[in-house]
Amino acid sequence: MKDNVIKILLKALSWGMLVLVAGVLIKVLANIISDNPVTFAQQVLNGLQLGFVYAMIAVGYTLVYGVVKLINFAYGDIFMVGAFVSLYSITRYGFSFLPTALLATVACIFLAVVIDRVAYKRLREAPRIAGLITALGMSIFLEYFTALRFVFTSDYIAFERPFELVTWMVGGVRFTNIQLVIAITSIVYFIGVQYIVGQTKIGKAMRASAFDKDTARLMGINVDGVIAATFALTGALAGTAALLYATAYPQIWTFMGLQPGLKAFVAAVIGGIGSIPGAFVGSLIMGFVEAMTVGYVPLGSTLKDGIAFLLLVIMLLIRPTGIFGDPFEETK
């Protein structure tokens, strides 16, 4: 009885703090909107564009963490490889958007599964710190190996878009076909991942493996195969997200996955690491905050990264498990 009361009080306190912060933000936003609604709407669109890309990466983080309890810091570098594969598909072979997306997706699936087999598989039963250090090492290796002159080089490279930019103006607000493609693709992937995890046989195996791997093995589930399928699914997300990101922000280099990867991870933590809807919502929040910082905070383009991570600190102080997280999940 006492534990239940404490649990209810902690939940009430955390949600109360969130409501207080939300109230302050709503008041600030109301003042911003009243001053210049067109500029605000434009920044919202910019934030959604960025947030939808973050969402695809964040869902990849949360899938791996949910099943393996591993923070795959090499994920941002898989994303980077997808961007370069997309570039070569367009410039060397003249592929259009869909074939390029397919090739980048296949390449990232292959890389994600190989990384799991080579770097992570033997650490399944090791302490979590071993997997974390290995993930960091794999990330650094990919960044510096691909920066070699005979691989991708360390230069910034202009990305050739797979389709022409089309712009529309509605009420003074500018939006593009790129924003439309990003939003539709991200939502389709989100629905698809939710369906796979929630309704399919492999999704049930993922959830069983996440809950108790030993019991899942006793029930006849090939846990290693399930984990490989999870990494493959995250590779698919990374490959498509890389093409979308490079199309929206057409400049790539071998360290390009660092910031989007870290911000997507922060978004997953804010939403509740292990929760797919949480990763999606947290990413939209992250994109919105970043766009508002650039648009309204002095020196915002310089401070946007710092404010994004400040948001993480605030969330950890108020609600460490994130918006959709369960404060008592680890004790179940």
Contacts of 22 (CB under 8 A, 6+ apart): none
Higher pLDDT, 106 or 301: 106
Whether the predicted pLDDT of 1 surpasses 50: yes
Residue 115 tokens read as: 């990384």
Express each pLDDT in 251-292 by its tens digit: 999 999 988 988 998 999 898 888 889 999 999 999 988 888
Residue matched to tokens 């911000």: 263
Mean pLDDT across the chain, nearest whole number?
Answer: 86
Q: Is residue 330 part of a domain?
A: no
Residue 328 tokens read as: 């008592």
Return d(Cα 135, Cα 131) in angstroms, integer.
6
Q: 248 phi and psi, to 5 degrees?
A: -75, -35
Reference 25, options 204, 224, 293, 268; nearest CA is: 293
Q: Is residue 164 part of a domain?
A: yes
Radius of gyration of the chain (CA): 20
- Strand pairing category for 167-170 and 157-158: unpaired
List Cα–Cα distances, 229 to 8, 64, 88, 107, in angstroms.
37, 10, 26, 15
What is the count of structural domains for the chain? Answer: 1
Q: Is residue 31 part of a domain?
A: no
Reference 50, options 239, 240, 248; nearest CA is: 248
Half-sphere exposure of 312 (CA within 13 A, CB side): 15
Q: Which structural domain range is residue 221 located in?
A: 39-321
Reference 223, options 233, 234, 213, 231; nearest CA is: 213
List Cα–Cα distances, 146 to 4, 109, 121, 134, in angstroms.
52, 18, 23, 18
Return d(Cα 205, Cα 208) in angstroms, integer.
5
Write the CATH number for 298: 1.10.3470
List Cα–Cα distances, 80 to 72, 117, 238, in angstroms.
14, 20, 8
Average pLDDT over residues 149-156: 89
Average pLDDT over residues 183-205: 92
Express each pLDDT in 2-53 by its tens digit: 667 777 777 777 677 767 767 766 776 676 666 777 888 888 899 999 999 9
Confidence of residue 318 (pLDDT cuts 50, 70, 90): confident
Q: 251 phi and psi, to 5 degrees?
A: -150, 125
pLDDT of residue 328: 40
Average pLDDT over residues 129-133: 88
Contact of 62 with 265, CB cutoff 8 Å? no
Q: Is residue 168 part of a domain?
A: yes
pTM of the predicted protein model: 0.86
Length of the chain measured in residues: 332
Q: Is residue 12 part of a domain?
A: no
**Cα first-last separation, the chain:** 17
Residue 22 tokens read as: 């939300």
Q: Is residue 224 part of a domain?
A: yes
pLDDT of residue 74: 92
